[in-house]
Structure 1
Amino acid sequence: MVTSVGVTTNEEGLIRLLAQIVLFDGFDPLDAIAPYEVLAAGGAITDGTLEAELVSAEGPRQVPSGMSLLSLAATARLEPQRADLIVVPGAAGSFPTGEDDVRDDSIPGILARTLDTPLPGLLKQALDRPGLTVATVCGGSLVLAMAGLITGRPATTHHLGLDGLAATGVVAIDARVVDDGDLVTASSVTSGLDLGLYLLERELGPRVAHAAERLFAHERRGIVWRDTGLAPTVNG
């Protein structure tokens, strides 16, 4: 059955969450694998409370990463009406040499090509659905930003991409993880570990997150930025 916010439960009323990690041509492997493995571990240590799967906007297929590093099998199609968490990675490619560098193998070029796929439309459906959380790692937030889906909202990305993120109308925050309710963004590639652990804490509680943290021997870094509390008068 489904709760009021769309979360699936079993016959005993126990929560069952589905996390879909999106793959697209040119994705960064660590951006995808780090949160996938953490979320999958969260499911394993809670008797299957959370299921994680690799998906693509086109459905099951082999998806090549950027820089010809590897390919991963998407086992299902991205389905905003079925998922509870969706994680969008960034791209692996060459660094831009200027503002207009959109070479095919550059990170901006790879991210821009996602706009010509079904992915932006599916991500819009996801953000429009109450109870579903969209999360990103590194350049994944730029996929949403370039599609015009998060204008005016706080988000983060790799520090080299913060200016580009701000240029799209997003409120760019230089933080490890930024939580804006149904949008949770993480900065650079290794922050996918922090994002996965934070999502476990947010969705399943601190005891589960702590157990996963011990399993991976990784302590989350930094403070999760939220638009709450007093505003500092001096920024460090």
Structure 2
Amino acid sequence: MLAQIVLFDGFDPLDVIGPFEVLCAGSDAVGGDLDVRLVALGKPGAVTSGTRGLRLKATHTLDPEAPGVVIVPGASGPIAGDPDEIDTIPVMIARLGGTALPALISRAFAAPETLVATVCGGSLVLAMAGLLEGRTAVTHPLGNPVLEATGVRVIEARVVDDGNLVSGGGVTSGLDLALYLLERLYGPRISHAVEQLFSYDRRGTVWHERGPVPLVA
């Protein structure tokens, strides 16, 4: 089974490294069954993040139909500014719509054994590319209004499970999302073992659309 974390120019490093470490520890806990990879949209190689020029190496090209999970991070950089002079987060997210990403993630959504997961602005990346209309998801609190404007039903939870789409809120939610993915793929004993290893208690509630609807006073 593969866990593929997508790298693109301007990616947020913590959106990538948090899930990467958690999933690698989970892989160790299941005897290496989970192959965790940093992947590129095109040819493998070094990819520059949006934080101080930090670079990570994509060792493989994204395989969207592979059984497992594809994780899309958000971008990092300035939130506002002259788009003709600097790459702001909105500019980077919009630019991704013109790459191979939308078509590849569409294929991942269509694959029966593949989950698509997002961290922080990753759900905005997919929503702005027209892939999440009518779905339920969350992103960073600053981006939730924009996410909603694209036709997404926004749930302000730490992690939102919408079937073959699992999304996390702010940047550090990548830890909680990855632990939940381990639980979903391998069960709670594996995710609990990784929590103990990292001395980290999961935060927030994982939202699912099941159970009774709460009564509103």
Counterpart in the other structure of 2:10: 26
Counterpart in the other structure of 1:153: 135
Contact 1:145-1:151 within 8 A present in 2 as well: yes
Q: Superposed, which structure 2 residues align to 1:30-179 within 5 Å?
A: 30-96=14-80, 104-179=86-161
Counterpart in the other structure of 1:7: none
Q: Deviations over 1:175-225 (max 9, x none)?
A: 100001100000011000001100001101111100000111111111101
Question: Identity over the aligned pairs, expressed in percent?
Answer: 55
- Residue type of the partner of 2:116? V
Unaligned 5+ segments in structure 1 are 1-16
Q: Superposed, which structure 2 residues align to 1:220-231 within 5 Å?
A: 220-231=202-213
Contact 2:96-2:129 within 8 A present in 1 as well: no
Does residue 180 of the first structure (1) align with residue 162 of the second (2)? Answer: yes
TM-score, with structure 1 as normaliser: 0.88
Structure 2 SS opposite 1:86: strand
Contact 2:66-2:113 within 8 A present in 1 as well: no
Unaligned 5+ segments in structure 2 are none
Q: What is the alpha-carbon distance in structure 2 between the residues aligned to residue 122 and residue 180 of structure 1?
A: 19
Q: Deviations over 1:66-119 (max 9, x none)?
A: 03340000000001122411000000011237xxx7564211111111111111
Q: What is the alpha-carbon distance in structure 1 between the residues aligned to residue 131 and residue 112 of structure 2?
A: 15
Cα RMSD (Å): 1.5
Contact 1:93-1:110 within 8 A present in 2 as well: no
Once the 2 structures are TM-superposed, how far is the Cα of residue 226 of structure 1 from its aligned partner? Answer: 0.9
Structure 2 SS opposite 1:22: strand
Structure 2 SS opposite 1:63: strand
